[in-house]
Structure 1
Amino acid sequence: MTQTTNRILVPVGFSEQSILALDHAVIYAKKTQAEIVLLSVMEDAGLFARLFSSEAEKQMERLKEETLKQLDELIEKHKSEGIRMSHMTASGSVHEEIAEVAKMLDVTLVVMGTNGKPGNFKKSTLGSNAYRVVNNVKPPVITVNGGVAPAEPKKIIFPIVLDRRSREKVGTALHYARLFGSEIQIVGVSRSKEEAQKLQVSLKQTMTFIAEAGIKVAGEVIREEGKSVAEATLNYADSQNGDMIIIMEEGEQGKGLRIFSNDVEKIIYNANMPVMSVTPSKVMYENQFQNL
């Protein structure tokens, strides 16, 4: 009888940024008894290199050997953490390979930096692929910007919009709040009086639901003149000394207030704290939201 393995996928490009993402992943692995799988993706050399396939193959082989050596060194460096770690390499499009491996291994979480070169083979970066990864994998994705020291997320910033799907991330927020003993701070960004009224109703319902689950919660509806939803959300997260922001990927689009994809992308790349992006699902936590 086999036992299901809880896995966290960490794409690495050996930049300072991707190493920092690994340090963040360690925190989650310890709390969930998960195995960390390091993934290094070497992008295809392209048509020009294929014209000189013999030399390209030699170069790729040398790169793979060096990559495996660096992966082994990373695992050895974190050996004292007492966490199960393994590694693998792949070749192809960075975001596509990450999504494929995440699906193949059935990982529960992806943690990645938003700046770092994949294998140093081409100028494309893990950072430039972060949003593509968010939009192509099913499990939550935590993205980490530079300078964010690894720490447990004791205060989770929870933006809400006028879309029922947005509240699907409540289940994920509750899960991690319980794991880390966190409090949840809800914020609705309004751009009109009508939106503010609707957001107040949604805010109250969501706060009640979270409080009844035994999690400390607070919330408010705000409005910042001349600021986009992304800018207002980031300013609020900073003012509240948040440790992590949880957002819905693919653009949180409601009938009134809308967070479009570019706003989500701005939050991912500009946050001064880790951002967890949650994939919308019709069935995930469905029974929990019937009264919301």
Structure 2
Amino acid sequence: MNRILVPVDFSEHSANALEVAAQLAKKTNAEIMVVHMLGISDAVLTKDESQSFMEAKFYMKLAKKRFAEFLDKPYLKDLKITETVQNYTVFTEIGQIAKENGAELIVMGSHGTSGLSEIFVGSNTEKVVRSAEVPVLVIKKQRSDFKMEKVVFAFDFRVESTEAYHRAVNFFSQMKAQLHLVHVNLPGVQFMNTTEIQKDIDGFIRVAHHGELPAHIHVAMVSDYSVEDGVYNYAKKVDADAITITTHGRSGLAHFFKGSIGEDIANHVDLPVMTFKI
């Protein structure tokens, strides 16, 4: 991995993301690109030219000063860091910045507290997840000992997900991570028996791996009352370091995560979540 992009607003949440990015950068010898969305309002930009220039200059100087303070952290020592201030107010631009600068991963902080779907929906993080072509890793709390040795991948084993699946497999191979593909069987109209589920899994493996699953990839079938419950309960069972999902850009995560999330599940939502766009 060559470059990791970290959007920051100088908050505790973005500091948590930066610390995780630093740990990943050390493992992969990557550069970190730190981006601050300055977001000068239209009201400022439409003032007369001289006043607009002076105010923009002031905000830029202020941002650079805050960068100097924000990046003065011991875990960034010996890492290559580039910083940029962009006058964007729309967070969908983050994906474009990543693409233009060759970033292979975006790491973002989040303060989501109401379950996995609520980490993203209606937030700046959700906007980045929808629009970014590169994977997005969402961090909720400080993780000074972050690792990716064991990852749970909530997966539907559909052929349309093959490309995103391969990108995920390649990424986690770089991390030398053990990958657990989890199919959650739900009650009601979505219920499938073991034979039906296994047929879907076998069919996908034939397409994705020519029938032979790599040794570091494991498949599990679990039954639960919601996808969220099944994923979190399995992640807890195997002591996973992170959870991975695929998402469609047009519909965000709503197609995958439906229904309410119990309070006990919300309490475990602090696991890092990584998304790969289909």
TM-score category, normalised to shorter length: 0.7 to 0.9
Q: Contact conserved, 1:41 with 1:90, CA < 8 A, in 2? A: yes
2-structure distance, mates of 1:40, 1:210: 44
Per the alignment, residue 240 of structure 1 pairs with 238
Q: CA RMSD in A?
A: 3.7
1-structure distance, mates of 2:100, 2:243: 27
- After superposition, what is the alpha-carbon deviation per residue over 1:128-177, rounded to whole angstroms, capped at 9, x for unaligned? 21111011111111111124444111101011115213233332333343
Per the alignment, residue 3 of structure 2 pairs with 7
Q: Contact conserved, 2:129 with 2:249, CA < 8 A, in 1? A: no
Q: Secondary structure at the match of 2:161?
A: helix
Per the alignment, residue 223 of structure 1 pairs with 223
1:8 is displaced (CA, Å) by 1.0
1-structure distance, mates of 2:136, 2:93: 15
1:203 is displaced (CA, Å) by 3.4
| Structure-to-structure mapping, 1:74-93, within 5 angstroms | 74-78=70-74, 81-93=77-89
Q: Contact conserved, 1:39 with 1:87, CA < 8 A, in 2? A: yes
Unmatched segments (≥5 aa) in structure 1: 117-124, 281-292
Amino acid at match of 1:42: L
Per the alignment, residue 158 of structure 1 pairs with 153
Amino acid at match of 1:18: S
| % same residue | 25
Measured at CA, do residues 252 and 165 of structure 1 come closer, stay the same or move farther in structure 2, by a change above 3 Å? farther
Per the alignment, residue 122 of structure 1 pairs with none
2-structure distance, mates of 1:210, 1:180: 23
Measured at CA, do residues 63 and 248 of structure 1 come closer, stay the same or move farther in structure 2, by a change above 3 Å? same
Residue 173 of structure 1 pairs with residue 171 of structure 2 = no
Match of 1:182 among 174, 177, 187: 177
Q: Secondary structure at the match of 1:95?
A: coil
2-structure distance, mates of 1:132, 1:261: 16
Per the alignment, residue 202 of structure 1 pairs with 200
2-structure distance, mates of 1:261, 1:89: 34
Amino acid at match of 2:224: E
Per the alignment, residue 32 of structure 1 pairs with 28
Q: TM-score, normalised by structure 1?
A: 0.73
Q: Contact conserved, 1:169 with 1:247, CA < 8 A, in 2? A: no
Q: Contact conserved, 1:160 with 1:203, CA < 8 A, in 2? A: no
Q: Contact conserved, 1:35 with 1:83, CA < 8 A, in 2? A: yes
2-structure distance, mates of 1:129, 1:106: 21
- After superposition, what is the alpha-carbon deviation per residue over 1:25-59, rounded to whole angstroms, capped at 9, x for unaligned? 11221222211100000224244x56766777655
- After superposition, what is the alpha-carbon deviation per residue over 1:71-110, rounded to whole angstroms, capped at 9, x for unaligned? 2334443576322111000112241331221121121111
2-structure distance, mates of 1:175, 1:128: 28
Residue 97 of structure 1 pairs with residue 93 of structure 2 = yes
Measured at CA, do residues 180 and 147 of structure 1 come closer, stay the same or move farther in structure 2, by a change above 3 Å? same
Question: How many pairs align?
Answer: 259
Measured at CA, do residues 65 and 238 of structure 1 come closer, stay the same or move farther in structure 2, by a change above 3 Å? farther
2-structure distance, mates of 1:252, 1:99: 14
Measured at CA, do residues 25 and 205 of structure 1 come closer, stay the same or move farther in structure 2, by a change above 3 Å? farther
Q: Secondary structure at the match of 1:161?
A: coil
- The worse-fitting range, judged by mean Cα deviation, of 22-31 and 73-82 is 73-82
